[in-house]
A and B are shown apart, each in its own frame.
Chain A
Amino acid sequence: MSLYNWLNERIALESMTKFAKKKQVPVFYGTVWYYLGGVSLFLFIIQVVTGILLILYYQPGATTAFESVKFIVSKVEFGWLMREVHSWSANLFILFIFLHMFTVYFAKAYRKPRELTWYSGIFLLALAMFFGFSGYLLPWNELAFFATKVGSDIAGAIPVVGDFLLRLLRAGDEVSGATLTRFYGIHVAILPAVFTVLLGIHLALVQSQGMSVPPEQEHLAEDKRKYMPFFPNFALRDLLFWLIILNVIALLAVFFPWELGTKADPLASAPAGIRPEWYFMFMFQTLKLIPAHVLFIEGELFGILMFAMGGIIWFLVPVLDKKANQNIRSKLWKWIGIMLVIYIIVMTVWGYMV
């Protein structure tokens, strides 16, 4: 008896292969966008694997964290590779989630019945950014220390719950070794657990509802629409894309290594040229430009309220864009999306120029 048969009698493999064979992927100008979500998934898998490997040597704590990362990258065989791949993959992970989100947005894939997929996706993006924020502190270097001070102070400025959030994040009033331990716990236990569950839901929704196509494609007669089988045609293309990404990461890790920097010192001045990770840059740059006071509120709070409002509107787009449910492209939402992309790019570039 073959292994397949043995398994099939116990766990109904046949129904799974049937499902995979039945699954069709629409072929049109936007088919390439479908790879972006898959690449994000692949990058998450890389993060889990390299993250677990890094845990084996990393020691959280104000007196050990920096030294242990230094040990990993300088003494442990291929330690540098693990850290570089983890850092690069983290950055690409966020980048691909952003690309995935914007292609989904412009293809109107959030419209009925896929609202839940959009909501879960936005939560996944928020979690991914929190992953980045919490992981950034772990090497306990100067840049990370001040980025964490600023980031947690922003949370502290939120009305009503700010104080609670600040102490919750920092594990005290100041960023200290206790904060580091807490961020470590968040980064390696809490976030992976929550992320995995949410990712499971996100993927289950994609599988059960199938691929979305933009409204114009949906208007086409069925005989004019083209498909390819998910397995093996699309799955193999997916795999090829993943392989390319893995090679790109290897190249980046070797030729553009992330520096460890200098160890965090709570009594040092914030160095010139301090900046957060690139995906926070547009917000960072905006905060820099907002004056000390806007109307009667502090600039900091004003900025936070604006970002919170923008985030909520973006999250609720499946509800707000009423035309999308009738398969009509609304000009307003198209332009909101385009303006947002331009805003993010301009602010990010500007942030790096000054």
Chain B
Amino acid sequence: MSKQNRKKFLDIILGAGATAWFASILYPISKYLIPPDIADANVTSIEVGPEIEFKRGSSKIVRFGRKPVIIIRRKNGDLKAFAATCTHLDCNVQFKNETEQIWCACHNGFYDLEGKNISGPPPRPLAKYIVRVARGIIVISSEDMA
């Protein structure tokens, strides 16, 4: 092996060694930074509370597994439930009783009471949940379970 080839060979070995060394440090760090997946409690339905305590023209946000869900009681008594996080940038939405619309204060996005995005920046409708009343208790369940 000529002197030059030997030098090249050593350069490659050294370079590869240094790269492997860096990788062996960076890999565990980058893995460490991402938190482990916590198994979702696989919630398919939750009880919200007695129907009589839920006033007409009001709303509340409840936890559905790890996700917030907004449940709305319209003036006419109808119950509706949607994912409470705006499809634009993830803020929690609120129910506007006067106009019977769902509003996101962060960037002024509006949805109708079918969850459809009707004005402002939201790109998609809100995910719907199924609401039913069983023996006077409001129960919401995710749509894919129905």
A contact residues vs B (CB 8 Å cutoff): 146, 149-150, 152-154, 164, 167-168, 171-174, 178, 266-274, 284, 287-288, 290-293, 298-300
Contacts and interface: CB of A to CB of B under 8 A. Distances in A.
A-B pairs with the 10 shortest C-beta distances? A269-B94, A153-B90, A270-B91, A298-B123, A150-B89, A270-B105, A292-B123, A267-B61, A153-B89, A288-B107
Given A267-B61, A287-B107, A298-B123, A172 B89 contact: no
Given A150-B91, A270-B105, 20 more contacts: A150-B106, A154-B89, A164-B34, A167-B35, A168-B33, A173-B66, A174-B66, A174-B67, A266-B92, A267-B84, A267-B92, A269-B70, A269-B84, A269-B94, A271-B105, A292-B88, A292-B121, A292-B122, A300-B89, A300-B121
A157 B91 CA distance: 14
Interface of B: 33-35, 38, 61-63, 66-68, 70, 84, 86, 88-94, 104-108, 117, 120-123
A81 to B, nearest CB: 32
10 contacts: A153-B89, A172-B38, A178-B35, A266-B92, A268-B61, A269-B84, A274-B105, A288-B107, A292-B117, A293-B123
Q: Which of B38, B61, B67, B89 has the most CB of A within 10 A?
A: B89
A251 B34 CA distance: 43
Contacts of B121: 287-288, 290-292, 299-300
Given A267-B68, A299-B121, A288 B108 contact: yes
A117 B13 CA distance: 36
B90 A149 contact: yes
Contacts of B70: 269
Contacts of B104: 270
A287 B84 CA distance: 20
Contact of A150 (B62, B66, B90, B120): B90
Contacts of B105: 269-274
A266 B108 CA distance: 19
Contact of A146 (B63, B88, B106): B106
A164 B35 CA distance: 11
B35 to A, nearest CB: 5
Nearest to A291: B121
A306 to B, nearest CB: 14
A274 B107 CA distance: 9
A259 B142 CA distance: 39
A164 B105 CA distance: 27
A108 B106 CA distance: 38
A257 B75 CA distance: 42
A125 to B, nearest CB: 23
Contact of A300 (B67, B94, B108, B123): B123
Nearest to A174: B66
Contacts of B67: 174
Contacts of B108: 288
A28 B89 CA distance: 48
A274 B61 CA distance: 18
A299 B108 CA distance: 14
Nearest to A152: B90
A173 B37 CA distance: 9
Contact of B89 (A149, A168, A178): A149
B17 to A, nearest CB: 26
Nearest to B69: A267
A130 to B, nearest CB: 16
A299 B87 CA distance: 11
A224 to B, nearest CB: 54
Contacts of A150: 89-91, 106
A298 B94 CA distance: 23
Contact of B63 (A152, A267, A290): A267
A316 to B, nearest CB: 27
B88 A268 contact: no
Contacts of B117: 292
A265 B10 CA distance: 60
B123 A299 contact: yes
